[in-house]
Amino acid sequence: MGLPFILLNYKTYLQGTGKGAVEIAKACKAVSEESGIEIAVAPQLPDIYRVASEVELPVFSQHLDGVGAGSFTGHIFGKSVEEAGAVGTLINHSERRLTLAEIEASLKAAKEFGLRTVICTNNVPTTAAAAALGPDYVAIEPPELIGSGIPVSKADPEVVSGSVKAVAKIDSKVKVLCGAGISKGEDLRAALDLGSQGVLLASGIVKAADPKIALEELIRLV
């Protein structure tokens, strides 16, 4: 297995807002250059352009709507996200749930503008369903563990290994990320040992006193 992919979701944490979004991205960039590991960030929508303009690393949107150009006030249009500098998007995060039809529409919109796609799921059956749609990644995150500090790779390892097996049967090109409670080196190591190809994480890095040190701790066993 090659090096993992790390996607850092800023959510709406104060530490990752505005100027803080750029500072965390700079820490990610430094650790990525030192380690060779691809680290991407998903800041709040108004900060996508700011981060993408000031730091050379992959930037993802936290959400994308399956709409085109036109009368869609308040929706998030793929072209706008792409023009702002994003290269990918989260879809169906547990804090921004979508119906299956909406997931499919968002995925189609993302692909139209060449955006990498991460569909978030919460169990093995939904992971299998998401993989059938053909995203770049599925990210398995049981919602009860998100922000808990308890990594899914330890609390429920079967949901990770089961998701990996289910996705492999459906589409071997789809990669599996492990999320929920990931913050330490042993969490990432466990996730990789269970067959995932990276992690989706948030508070353990964004809210850390020193995000760069926290990232260095995260990757120390890779």
pLDDT digits (tens, 9 = 90+) for 71-116: 999 999 999 999 999 999 999 998 999 999 999 999 999 999 999 9
pLDDT in tens, 174-187: 999 998 778 889 88
> 33, 38, 56, 93: which one is catalytic?
93
Q: What is the mean pLDDT of residues 33-40?
A: 96
Cβ atoms within 10 A of the Cβ of 208, count?
18
* CA dist., res. 95 & res. 8, Å (int): 15
User: Quick check: is 141 catalytic?
Assistant: yes
- DSSP-based three-state secondary structure for 7: strand
Among 181, 183, 179, CA closest to 160: 179
Q: Which runs of E-coded beta strand occur in the chain?
A: 5-9, 38-42, 60-61, 88-91, 116-121, 137-140, 175-179, 198-201
* CA dist., res. 170 & res. 183, Å (int): 30
Least confident of 47-51, 61-65, 155-159: 155-159
Whether the per-residue pLDDT at 149 is higher than 90: the answer is no
User: Quick check: is 93 catalytic?
Assistant: yes
Per-residue pLDDT, 26: 98
Whether the per-residue pLDDT at 120 is higher than 90: the answer is yes
**What single letter denotes the amino acid at residue 51?**
V
Contact assessment for residue 37 and residue 4, using Cβ atoms and an 8 Å cutoff? yes
> 141, 144, 186, 217: which one is catalytic?
141
Among 70, 122, 56, CA closest to 93: 122
Whether the per-residue pLDDT at 167 is higher than 80: the answer is yes
Average model confidence (pLDDT) for the chain? 92
Cβ atoms within 10 A of the Cβ of 139, count?
31
Whether the per-residue pLDDT at 203 is higher than 80: the answer is yes
pLDDT in tens, 205-222: 999 999 999 999 999 988
